[in-house]
Structure 1
Amino acid sequence: MIYTVTLNPAIDLVIVTKKLEPKVVNRTEKFELQPNGKGVNVSFILKKLGIDSVATGIGGGFTLDYVISGLAEKGIKTNFLKVKEPTRVNVFTDVLDEGTEYKQVNPGPVVSSDKQDQFLDYLESTVTKDDMVVVSGSFSRGIKPDFLVKLAQLVQKQGAKFVIDSSYLEVIDTLKYRPFLLKPNDSELAAFFNYEGEMTAAKTVELAQKLIKLGCQNVLVSLGADGAAFINKYHVLFANAPQIQVVNSACAGDTMLGTFIAFLEKNKPVSAALKMAVAAGSDTASRTGLTDFSLDELLPQISVEERMK
């Protein structure tokens, strides 16, 4: 089983408006409410591709209930621990006249150390060597970034695969526990090594290979408009991105990760997984919701190139 861990779930309010002016009533074109959180999105994508998962994490209030009901509607099992304060609501506004997207992301509820320990106990009692644990996104208030290390240690103890999509610098401290996959974007990859120069393709490979040498088994790097790269001991693969009109980029990385994992679970070649992941992530970025995997126009634009290590 795949367990997706979201320690700061959300409802995303996605607004499309012709214009956005101060101190007046702005009438919008449309809006959508979406159950969200990076791990939640991974579960949605896995389900679309026929892979079961359990969406778990910590949240609270009627907003968490909305997230849970959205997952249940798609047939996704859930097991969220609840706290008193409500799960957050984020706002993403696409202003058509400006061709600009505004992102307003709120903090999550306060989570006590007892609740964190309870969550670790749940994973320890549930996860087996045949499972995968995917932890994605930011943490709610009260959960320190080094919680990542506790998760990595626990998952290794259970013999399961550990996947991390997080910008916390403590990702580096998890490497001694040999995570199966890291999914940074290029800026996060640079920050892991305090690198402030230009992120060329060569530098991306160099830094990803440092992660491999430190213990990570596989690295999937999101390169935004330049596509993505996959690096491990055996491969250095680059895939270009198709041409799209970006509408809402919030969930593109989650889509990429979920698609990539699903194709690996189906024993597809890494190159095929990378190509589909880039196409699906790009399609999500071009709409207000997650991709429906109608990718016939995007896939022919993408090529995967194997480069020398």
Structure 2
Amino acid sequence: MILTVTLNAALDVTYVVDELVPRTSHRVDSVHERAGGKGVNVARVLSALGWQTAVTGLCGGDTGDRLRAELRTAGPRDELVPVTGESRRTLTVVSRADGDATVFNQGGPAVTAGEWEAFTARYARLLGDADVAVLSGSLPPGLPVDVYAHLVTLAREAGVRTILDTSGSALRAGLAAGPDVVKPNADELLDLTGLRDLAAAAAAVRALGARDVVASHGPDGLHALTAQGTWRAAPPERLAGNPTGAGDACVAALAAGLATGAPWPAVLGEAVALSAAAVLRPTAGDFDADAYHRFRTAVSVEEVHAARSHP
């Protein structure tokens, strides 16, 4: 079983418009409303691929009730822990004209000490059945910045491998616990390290504690620095669509690869194919199945060898 953690679960609302133009009114072509947050999206993708998944995290209020009601139809098992605060909503506006997505994120409910204690007890119990734990997304108010480090440590003590997909101070603090894989995007990686070179930034993050680093680079694919080698993986073509769920689809493939023990080139090929197929769907947590199967044999995965110095 793959366990995903979404500490700041959300009700994701997506508007699709012909073209997003500032300071004008828009006619909305379609509206999608569903349970979200990065870990929920990861679990949706994994469930569609046939994996047994469970979603845990924190949610509450009327928004949390709507979130959980929709999640019941989605496939992953609901192991969310209730809080008294109101869960957040996100709003994504997708432009048909160019595929760009504009995202508005609320902060989320404050979490009390008692609610956090209830969550960690649930998390520790779920680790008993898990092969991989995916820790994704932002932290809600009231939680210390090092909570992901604590969750990584609990997973390691239970013999469960971990993927950490967050950013900023939460990522920096989490690295100290030694997660098996971290999956920032290129901007997050460069911001964290203060470096301008993606390969150097990945090496710096690995030195801070991550065993393996997979950095997503938008339409250019992935850069992976691992204990087994360094690779670049690129999609077979440039795609127009909604990129908001691509990173979560990538993490789903990484989690499946960790669970099966597949070699890194195969895992990265799956990750690029799945994330590219997710761009073609209007909502995060979905992917175009036909495109995914087509891309799987067309992704370019290239090993990168360190340059040799000459006397």
Instruction: Name the TM-score, length of structure 2 as normaliser.
Output: 0.88
Report the counterpart of residue 161 of structure 2 in structure 1: 161
1:307 to 300, 304, 308: 304
Equivalent residues of 2:145, 2:173 under 8 A apart = no
**Match for 2:57: what amino acid?**
G
1:296 CA displacement:
4.3
Give the aligned residue type for 2:165.
D
Matches within 5 A, 1:173-212: 173-195=173-195, 197=196, 203-212=197-206
Give yes or no for the alignment of 1:88 onto 2:82.
no
Q: Residue type matched to 1:88 in 2? A: R
Letter of the aligned partner of 1:293 in structure 2?
Answer: A
Residues 216 and 99 of structure 1: CA distance in aligned 2, closer, same or farther (over 3 Å): closer
- 1:256 and 2:245 matched: no
Q: What do the CA deviations read for 1:162-200 (whole angstroms, capped 9, x no partner)?
A: 2100003242333343211111111111122222x3xxx
* Residues in 2 aligned to 1:120 and 1:76: alpha-carbon distance in whole angstroms: 19
AA partner of residue 224 (structure 2): F
Residue type at the aligned position of 1:142: G
Contact 2:101 2:244 in 1 (8 A): no
TM-aligned CA deviation for residue 246 of structure 1: 3.2
The verdict on how the C-alpha distance between 1:213 and 1:98 changes in structure 2, with shifts beyond 3 A counting, is: closer
Number of the residue aligned with 2:131: 131
State which of 257, 276, 279 in structure 2 corresponds to 1:282.
276
CA deviation after TM superposition for structure 1 residue 24, in Å: 6.9
Residues 22-42 of structure 1 deviation map (CA, whole Å, 9 limit, x = unaligned) = 787632221211221100011
Check the 8 A contact 2:17/2:27 in 1, yes or no.
yes
Check 1:247–1:238 CA distance in 2 against 1; reply closer, same or farther (3 A cut): same
Aligned residue for 1:291?
287
Report how far residue 92 of structure 1 moved: 1.1
Identity of aligned residues (%): 28
Between stretches 244-253 and 1-10, larger displacement belongs to 244-253
Q: Structure 1 residues 237 and 79 mapped into 2: Cα distance closer, same or farther (>3 Å)?
A: same
Distance 1:285 1:130 in 2: 29
Q: Does 1:60 align with 2:56?
A: no
Deviation larger for 60-69 or 215-224: 60-69
Deviation at 1:79, TM superposition (A): 1.2
Q: Distance in 2 between matches of 1:285 and 1:122?
A: 33
- Tell me what 1:200 maps to: none
Give the aligned residue type for 1:209: A
Question: Which runs of structure 2 are paired with 1:16-165 in the superposition (5 Å)?
Answer: 16-20=16-20, 26-97=26-97, 100-128=100-128, 131-165=131-165
What is the TM-score normalised by the length of structure 1?
Answer: 0.88
- Structure 1 distance, partners of 2:176, 2:20, is 48
1:83-138 per-residue CA deviation (whole Å, 9 max, x = no partner) reads 22322221111234576432211121121122112212222344239632211001
Code of the aligned partner of 1:45: V
2:241 aligned with 1:247, yes or no? Answer: yes
Deviations 1:2-56 (A, max 9, x none): 2210011112211111245678763222121122110001111111121112100
Per-residue deviation, residues 259-289 of structure 1 (Å, max 9, x unmatched): 2221332343321221121121122122203
Unaligned runs of 5+ in 2: 307-311
Which secondary structure does the structure 1 equivalent of 2:26 belong to?
coil
SS of the residue 2:206 aligns to: helix
The one-letter code matched in structure 1 to 2:107 is P
Give the Cα separation in 2 of the matches to 1:96 and 1:66.
27
| CA distance in structure 2 between the partners assigned to 1:134 and 1:120 by the alignment | 15
2:260 pairs with one of 254, 266, 287: 266
Tell me what 2:171 maps to.
171
Helix, strand or coil: the match of 2:72?
A: helix
**Rounded Cα–Cα distance in structure 2 between residues aligned with 1:106 and 1:130:** 30
CA contact (8 A) 1:8 1:37 kept: yes
Q: Which amino acid counterpart does residue 89 of structure 1 have in structure 2?
A: R
Aligned CA distance change for structure 1 residues 261 and 30 (closer, same or farther; 3 Å) = same
CA RMSD of the aligned region, Å? 2.3
Q: Is the 8 A contact 1:129 1:160 kept in 2?
A: no
